[in-house]
Structure 1
Amino acid sequence: MTLALQPVADPSAPLARRNPVAKLAAAMLFSLPLIATLDPLTPAIALVIELALVPLFGVRFATLARRAWPVLVASLGLLVTMVLFSANRTGTLLLDLGPFDVTTGVLYSTLGLILRLFAVVVPGVLVFATTDPTDLADALVQNAKAPARFALGALAAFRLIPLLGSEWQMLTLARRARGIDAGRNPVTALRLFVATAFALLVGALRRGGRLAVAMDARGFDSGVPRTYARKQVFRRADVALLVGAIVLSSFALGISIAAGVFRPIIG
């Protein structure tokens, strides 16, 4: 199991060329209104807009699906949770599961949450699928004026994430070589999963500590002004991307208000 963090998009695509900070800020500005309402129409419109913009990021839909598959698993878990524990049992009864009544109100609330989950996640997937981690760290320091210690630490963390998958596989194979295998016993499988996860966490903490000491020893936190090999420029097109994100998110929110389905999360 490996995880690639390098950009997988066409670098010549119009939106893939934009400044990393601009893309990150645009994703946040576009996603914020989605958490202001509980109706399913707003995230549905936002999701349609996002899918229409995917080609402009130079990302293939198959690549987007491969990167977003954990969201599908999370949505299934959300569906089960809402069916079992939703407080909104209003509407027409569709299915009687004993103590759990599946009504139109339950499905309406569940649909809104699942669509909102996808609509919030997809912009983040597009940003990180089209952005080199080093360019993002440089842009955070140069354009967003983030502390260099934070940006470089985040870059180091991104670079180390693929190692977690490799180490998980190595720990699993090492345990199997010593005859430790769960077989078909789900209880033993869960116990081995927890033990492997704990071992992986311990190894990650040790590596993080060594990396922090090494970075300090090399002067990454010396306070001396730094120079940059790659200049990150914030252009007019990046400003236009931010304005476009605000306009499109306002459009999605305005449609739900005009349709009379707007349900504010507060109030």
Structure 2
Amino acid sequence: MSVVTDAAAVPVAQVNPVAKLAAAFTIAVGLVLSVDWVSASTALVLEVILLAAMRVPLRSLLNRGAILVFAAALTAVTITLYGEPSGTVHWHFLLITVSDGSITLAVATFLRVLAIALPAVFLFIDTDPTELADGLGQVLRLPARFVLGALAGVRMIGLLGQDWRYLGYARRARGVADHARIRRAAGQAFALLVFAVRRGSMLATAMEARGFGAHPTRTWARPSPFGRREIALIVSGFVIVAVAVTTSVVTGHWNFIGSR
């Protein structure tokens, strides 16, 4: 547990996004291997401790946590009603069968969804897309053309809502937005697509003219440091998975997903 506390010495916003991505991926892969409530609940407790120590804002933790709980609950309800029946059957109607086996599987699924989604969501609070692109290009050595193109595309996504509103205002000013809402929405969506393609083409030409794809002759504007705190966070992800899996195996609840 000392590794977890060492990784949490700084706020989550100051950690390299590549380390956050690696830690979240490690936890997700480890928890996917088994469908049992012991490993998921153990990992969930350790993740909450890690996020609290990394100074994740309490308001964000509660707000986003409530959304994750709701989504996981919907999944659990589906598994309860339509999961594989086993043991005592409590209720049956047409295709719906509620049994001990489906309830146990629903609880395990609920906890596993929370345990996988929690680090994936909260480790990326306040993560700037530019910082993530810097990390992907400098730490993982991904092609600069791909990284910068993806970053430009993400930056352009935020403009789609504004363009949609402006298109609506223009159509209302021309008097073509007062009837046939479905047809108007389809036409407006097509106009938005055309506008986005044109803007993307202009942006690609401008970036090419400025040499954004000329790596390695170009340098990165901002360095992407990767030090002990990032390594500690990744190790913390492995520790969480190791403790969760060991606890599940020792208690006899380990249920490898490939054996089902």
Category of TM-score, reference length = shorter chain:
0.7 to 0.9
Aligned pair partner of 2:52 in 51, 55, 80: 55
Task: Identify the residue that residue 34 of structure 1 maps to in structure 2.
Answer: 31
Residues 144, 215 of structure 2: 8 Å contact kept? no
Residues 68, 122 of structure 1: 8 Å contact kept? yes
Identity of aligned residues (%): 39
Q: What letter matches 2:134 in structure 1?
A: D
Closer, same or farther: CA 194–17 of 1 in aligned 2, 3 Å: same
Greater Rg over alpha carbons, structure: 2
- Alignment gaps of 5+ in structure 2: 1-8
Closer, same or farther: CA 80–15 of 1 in aligned 2, 3 Å: closer
Root-mean-square deviation over aligned CA pairs:
3.2
* 91-100 or 205-214: bigger deviation: 205-214
Task: Identify the residue that residue 224 of structure 2 maps to in structure 1.
Answer: 232
Q: What letter matches 1:235 in structure 2?
A: G
Q: What letter matches 2:108 in structure 1?
A: G
Aligned pair partner of 1:246 in 233, 238, 243: 238
Q: What letter matches 2:157 in structure 1?
A: I
- Aligned pairs, how many? 248
Closer, same or farther: CA 166–47 of 1 in aligned 2, 3 Å: farther
List, as ranges, runs of 4+ consecutive aligned residues in structure 1 with deviation greater than 6 Å.
171-177, 191-199
| Alpha-carbon distance in 2 for matches of 1:128, 1:219 | 30
Closer, same or farther: CA 248–158 of 1 in aligned 2, 3 Å: same
Give the number of the structure whose residues are more often helix, by fraction.
2
Aligned pair partner of 2:116 in 117, 120, 125: 120
| Alpha-carbon distance in 1 for matches of 2:187, 2:249 | 50
Aligned pair partner of 1:155 in 151, 156, 165: 151
- Alignment gaps of 5+ in structure 1: 1-11, 183-187
Q: How far 1:90 sits from its partner (Å)?
A: 0.8
Task: Identify the residue that residue 9 of structure 1 maps to in structure 2.
Answer: none
Task: Identify the residue that residue 5 of structure 1 maps to in structure 2.
Answer: none
SS in structure 2 opposite 1:91? coil
* 250-259 or 161-170: bigger deviation: 161-170
* 89-98 or 99-108: bigger deviation: 89-98
Q: How far 1:220 sits from its partner (Å)?
A: 1.3
| Alpha-carbon distance in 1 for matches of 2:81, 2:168 | 34
| Alpha-carbon distance in 1 for matches of 2:94, 2:27 | 41
Aligned pair partner of 2:252 in 232, 239, 260: 260
